Structure 1
């Protein structure tokens, strides 16, 4: 008979604030990660501290913010009003304490309900805050949220403001490292949205005069734009848009009170709707919404009183009201775009003509593709019932709860042995595997038709569910997992070409990665170390001493499923695929996948050859 488990007062325990944050970090900062993805927790920590600095700037206090990151230590200094000295400890260590509750001090702020810096404090092995105001300063130091040193108030000649320094906890953020590209993108978003603000990062100054226009120019090469950016500003709203010559689907950047709402929300839905309505009214034609919005690159920023977000990390706006006596978000955006975009198109007939030509071209392409799309869908439907290429997972991007929604991954592998190892060792809940048969087709210069005609591409598109739009993407991470040899690198290039040619926004939005797998296993009877580079191999031999056994992995198929689970679990190492804005997508594809030019031969000799020589020598 089963034994009764006692349930008494002793079973009830109350977690203090820092224990709760450390036990459930995902509730506060989304996913953890190692810094290879822009939404990893270490960047959310930086953002939480920065948000408070931005609020000071918005309130008219302090036009410069200084950030430095040396190794794993982050320093953020603003020249705002400074935290009231008597509250320096409370503001960073007591829940529900902060100035954001007093709407007289903070109006339309981005900062949270007093949780942000507390989460940073609790998740850092070192956290120091120093406030200077009215000729006095006070500082306090913490370790994982616990106060270890509170300095007395003292006279100070420093400029007023607040300085926060912290080191994220390696016990929570495993093997992490900050990538400057992601920090710079975060900083640029802040300066685009706050004219007059200067942010200095590791000595480099960032400043924007033209707001969202600068954002679109910075994220897209001018050669890829169909016409110059349309830039419209109002009191609580700013929008920018153009159409791309190269990409097929829509791409948006959306913001509320300076907060990058990466998952959109009510304001983005209204923006997309208002573009369609305005363009239909302007041309007096009932164009299909998908033809109007095809290839659009847009940005929208609004300011809302007391916004309601759908998660702690504020990535999706739920508010329907603007507040302050203004109409709803939807009506406000529709009215603004309806008036201002219509005025712009009347004053700029050349741009209006280009937009109309683009819509008609999109309509023609849609009709041309409709027959082949129908056939391809039927093929994909049959195949999905017994799709040998895709070993799916149980939960997808749209299904996952808010603190887990970013963890769903699709591995694209080549050959049965490699996909077999990953399939046996993966997490069946959130990791799926798509197996390629040999080398995929080189899609450079081909039209979208090939995506439907080529069975492998069609099945990959169906697996990702991105045919209609990026909103339906089923996996947050798309990971190319090929051998680190000549063939593996060629497959990698062909897959990147496919995504660049037809779905560049997947790369722009940070969804595409290369899986790093170890080159060596170094072990003795007590310990096994996996090494990803020659330097790591040397360090492992030194650490294990004596004469450890060294195995060189030549391909993914050689790594057993038992071992593979170490490389795609908590310790997964991913290299993000990033676009260099300095080169247009067309130029990039032409350089790598076009006719073999002397420039490319020289590039391969200088770059790839070195890496491959190292691999072959080992």
Structure 2
């Protein structure tokens, strides 16, 4: 190997925007194309909105306006407005901002002064305008470079700040904003800030009861075992209940930030609930039986929080402030006092909670035998598991690429073979189905252990005891775009929604888009994902291009498949729009075959020569929407 010179000329100093653009992952996590709720484009939006929320928390501005198209965003708040002389510095100089002054911003989400600068550096266009005391200042940037600096002038607008930005499409390739993800983000903002109004694309968001409203929106009242317990104190708010679903479901927040990966506060809450309930009933119940089917939300405020990354999805703080108690003690004392008092004052809720625990205990013991045998089989199979072609990195590893870890679930050996040969062996794994999986709707969790394929899939994902040790960030259903492929998608989504709904709600499940057509001539090849793209490709390439219709994934060569699962991968997220999972599954996957058959007859569409004969008939509501 040739020797590389390492001298004075090897050392470079990057300015603020160059470093952000060179290493964007350090500032906003994964990049993505907007198909996942934690993709970078949503982090950009959140960084801007967080500043507006901090203004509200400090008592300035009770409303925020957000407008969004597929590629552009504008945010206008009515807070104090950035001091006009510092508008440019606040959005373009690292280590410049108001949040270093603890008196100006107490218990703020963003404390490092980087967020807005990252948005600026990673945007094609970034325009900031501050309104303050009858005067205004506007500045415009392109990829962090100042391109317009207008002098201050008078204005009749109310105080506040307006930000408009368009993410850089050379960094966020093929990106688009999906409104459902933004809708969920905004609801969380208003749940955590009672009295705040956010207007998003003309829709008003408002909450009076905070986390109580959050659980009400995200659960179905018919499935709850007892009314929602809602407890509030200084710097802490909790809402909890038990439902009918499998697993545990938590919504956790720190200073208004949705900590989707939990952290010290969520772990402390789970521990405190178990301890308090054991002491209340004076029974040493198994922790898994107490927490089975729990649905809970916890929000705390921490002075100078420590997060495990710039994206702030996991709390690392051990105390609630420099001189305050530990997070564990703070939450433990609150839950012990308030939950214990509540159960004493509401004996009917205490009885219902006890009944739910005893039911979980019976269910756990009922499947203990088959679970043990199934786990032993899975352990042996894992050594020579022909269904799983694993990758080297996993989501529970402490590695910078863990966000890319993906499991493709394929139908048949031909499709899995093509993906296996073209995948990235570091981050992409393949699980091959032997055919159509079992329709598990209405069955108990025992079937997960009795059905070898489901059990091996469960162990491949490592989700038997929750999502804490999930091995892949993205679970991608890769089936043919035909009737059989669609059926397999539904059967797999039924499995996940029936037994692991938190996997879907947390945004880990996707549908792989693969091209329907290949249009090419001697000079250029275009892959098309729809009829519209096919027509555009034909128009672009001219007279009589070669057109290939892909009927199945197995027909696509490994070389071509590599183009569709690499940096340009197209994924449709599975987004659960309706909290009533039971009703959705019962209609689409239950035993009401005549009802579904009649629905198909009544809504039959016939297409001919790209013209729909009956285009006015409404489509049925999907089981889970692929955005």
Task: Tell me which interval the TM-score lies in, with the shorter structure as reference length.
Answer: over 0.9
**1:521–1:528 CA contact under 8 A, matched in 2:** yes
Q: Does the alignment pair 1:593 with 2:592?
A: no
Alignment correspondent of 1:478? 475
CA contact (8 A) 1:425 1:564 kept: yes
2:492 to 463, 474, 495: 495
Aligned to 1:276: 274
Contact 1:224–1:585 at 8 Å: present in 2 too?
no
Aligned to 2:314: 316
Alignment of 1:182-221 (within 5 A): 182-221=181-220
Q: CA deviation at 1:3?
A: 4.4
Q: CA deviation at 1:71?
A: 3.1
Q: Deviations over 1:237-290 (max 9, x none)?
A: 000011111x21111111010011111111111100110011001101010111
Aligned residue runs from structure 1 range 329-408, under 5 A: 329-401=327-399, 403-408=400-405
Residue 467, structure 1, aligned to residue 461, structure 2: no
Between the aligned partners of 2:227 and 2:3, the Cα distance in structure 1 is: 73
Corresponding residue for 1:533?
530
Secondary structure of the residue that 2:95 maps to in structure 1?
coil
Offset at residue 571 of structure 1 (A): 1.0
Q: Which residue of 2 aligns with 1:101?
A: 100
Question: Offset at 1:578?
Answer: 1.8
1:505 correspondence with 2:505: no
Q: Which residue of 2 aligns with 1:454?
A: 451
- Residue 609 of structure 1: CA displacement? 6.0
CA deviations over 1:428-460 (Å, ceiling 9, x no partner) = 111100000011111111111111111100100
Indicate if the aligned counterparts of 1:80 and 1:161 stay in contact, CA closer than 8 A.
yes
CA distance in 1, matches of 2:202, 2:476: 34
Secondary structure of the residue aligned to 1:468 is: coil
State the shift of 1:597 in Å: 4.3
Q: Distance in 2 between matches of 1:612 and 1:574?
A: 29
Separation in structure 1 between the aligned mates of residue 261 and residue 157 of structure 2, nearest angstrom? 41
The 2-side partners of 1:271 and 1:144 are apart by 42
Distance 2:556 2:41 in 1: 31
Alignment correspondent of 1:241 = 240
Q: Which residue of 2 aligns with 1:151?
A: 150
CA distance in 1, matches of 2:598, 2:80: 55
- CA distance in 1 between counterparts of 2:602 and 2:498 reads 26
Counterparts of 2:159 and 2:133, CA distance in 1: 7
Please give the TM-score of this superposition, normalised by the length of structure 1: 0.97
**Is 1:239–1:301's contact at 8 Å kept on the other side of the alignment?**
yes
Deviation, 1:613, is 11
Task: Give 1:254's match in structure 2, choosing from 249, 252, 255.
Answer: 252
| Secondary structure of 2:522's aligned partner | coil
Please, which moves more after superposition, 497-506 or 403-412?
A: 403-412
Provide closer, same or farther for how the CA distance between residues 365 and 441 of structure 1 changes in structure 2, counting only shifts above 3 A.
Answer: same
Give a deviation string over 1:296-340, Cα, whole Å, max 9, x none: 111100011111111111111111111264321111111111111
**What are the ranges of 5 or more consecutive residues in structure 2 without an aligned counterpart?**
614-627
Tell me if structure 1 keeps the 8 A contact 2:69–2:177.
Answer: no
Counterpart position of 1:409: 406
Residue 7 of structure 1: how far off its partner (Å): 2.0
Structure 2 partner of 1:50: 49
What is the distance in 2 between the residues matched to 1:457 and 1:151? 62
- Relative distance call for 1:536 and 1:134 in structure 2 (3 A) is same
CA distance in 2, matches of 1:244, 1:608: 37
1:86-129 deviations in Å (ceiling 9; x for gaps): 11111000111100100111000112311001000011000000
Q: What's the secondary structure of 1:438's corresponding residue?
A: coil
Number of residue equivalences: 613
> Aligned partners of 1:607 and 1:15: how far apart in 2?
60
**Matched position secondary structure for 2:575:** coil
**Counterpart position of 1:9:** 8
Say whether 1:567 aligns with 2:561.
no
> 1-side partners of 2:531 and 2:355: how far apart?
55
Moved more, 363-372 or 177-186: 363-372
Measured after TM superposition, the shift of residue 48 of structure 1 is 0.2
- 1:604–1:508: structure 2 CA closer, same or farther, 3 Å change rule? farther
Residues 498-523 of structure 1, C-alpha deviations (whole Å, 9 max, x = no match)? 11111111111111111111100111
Which runs of 5 or more structure 1 residues have no equivalent in the other structure?
A: none
TM-score, scaled to structure 2: 0.95
1:314 and 1:278 map into 2 onto residues whose CA distance is 29
Q: Matches of 2:2 and 2:503 in 1, distance apart?
A: 54
Aligned-pair Cα RMSD in Å: 1.8
C-alpha deviations, 1:480-507, integer Å up to 9, x for none? 1111111111111111111111111111
Q: 1:380 to 1:511 in 2, by over 3 A?
A: same
Q: Using a 3 Å threshold, how does the CA distance of structure 1 residues 408 and 164 change in structure 2: closer, same or farther?
A: same
